[in-house]
Amino acid sequence: MIQSIWGKLGGAGIGLALGGPIGALLGGVAGHVLIDREGSLFGKPPRDILFTMGLVALAAKMAKADGVVVDVEIRAFEQIVDVPESEHDRVDRLFRLAMQTSDGFESYARQIGDAFKDEPALLEDVLDGLFHIAKADEAVHEAEYAYLKDVAAIFAFSDTDFERIAARHVQRKDDPYLILKADRSMSDDELKRHYRRLVAENHPDREIARGLPPEAVKIATERVAAINAAWERIAAERSIR
């Protein structure tokens, strides 16, 4: 059960445990952070908090770069992160503080990228979450797209990988194959097997089994929906049943 713990033990202590710019950010909000009292889903609380707080920091820096109304993006963040009603004001404060810090987005991205360098799927979850927030005002603006591409590069994703991730969120006529990471030369049977394997690999149940936090599971659910939509377009094009 997620509960709130305030003060130096919950804030400064966790901030010191995390270290880096994200740890400093947590110290700046004097303990206003959500923590699982019974233990993190990752085994150690700092790692679990790093994912969520990293998402907050990068989303805040994206809002600053784009100049979009912050409230809209904060609400979008709360759609993918389980925030108790009583903590909404705290999240607002953290988001706005992250916007104001002198640390550039690169330092936050590097800390997350280093922490999860052996888990590219989790870094992809972060990018999917950021795209979800970027779409809060019904469009991914040019500045947001460029920002996300820079974050992806820091995460060591190739341009092709980034385009595949972006295709799940930015509508383009030729996107279905890119979303599925499939080749148009593949046969119908090959495509069907590839699609089924992709759904199995990205299914939310698998994310839960891997011990990922709730927000990562929500992001995976959106990803599978995009994969299914891409498959439906391809199946319609090819008259596959």
pLDDT tens digits for range 126-147: 999 999 888 887 778 888 999 9
CA dihedral sign, ordered 19, 114, 155, 202: negative
The pLDDT of residue 157 is 97
Phi-psi region of 144 (alpha: psi -120 to 50; beta: other; left: phi over 0): alpha
pLDDT at 58 over 50: yes
Q: What is the pLDDT of residues 64-105, one digit of tens each?
A: 877 766 677 777 777 776 666 776 777 777 788 888 877 789
What is the pLDDT averaged over residues 172-186? 79
Tell me if the pTM is above 0.85. no
CB 21 within 8 A of CB 106: no
- Encode burial over 127-166: b for 16+ CB neighbours within 10 A, e otherwise: bbbbbbbbbbeeebbeebbebbbebbebbebeeebbbbbb
pLDDT at 3 over 90: no
The pLDDT of residue 34 is 43
The pLDDT of residue 50 is 78
Structure tokens at 19: 């270290």
Which of the listed ranges 57-66, 110-119, 220-229 does the model predict with the highest average pLDDT? 110-119
207 closest CA partner among 152, 129, 153: 129
Q: How far is CA 69 from CA 75, 77, 89, 169, 190, in A?
A: 11, 13, 16, 20, 45
The pLDDT of residue 169 is 87
Neighbours of 196 (CB within 10 A): 11
Distant-in-sequence contacts of 85-91, Cβ < 8 A, 24+ apart = 86/4, 87/4, 87/34, 90/4, 90/29, 90/32, 91/56
Phi-psi region of 181 (alpha: psi -120 to 50; beta: other; left: phi over 0): left
The pLDDT of residue 21 is 82
First to last CA, the chain: 43
Domain residue spans in the chain? 2-171
Rounded to whole angstroms, the Cα distance separating 59 from 61 reads 5
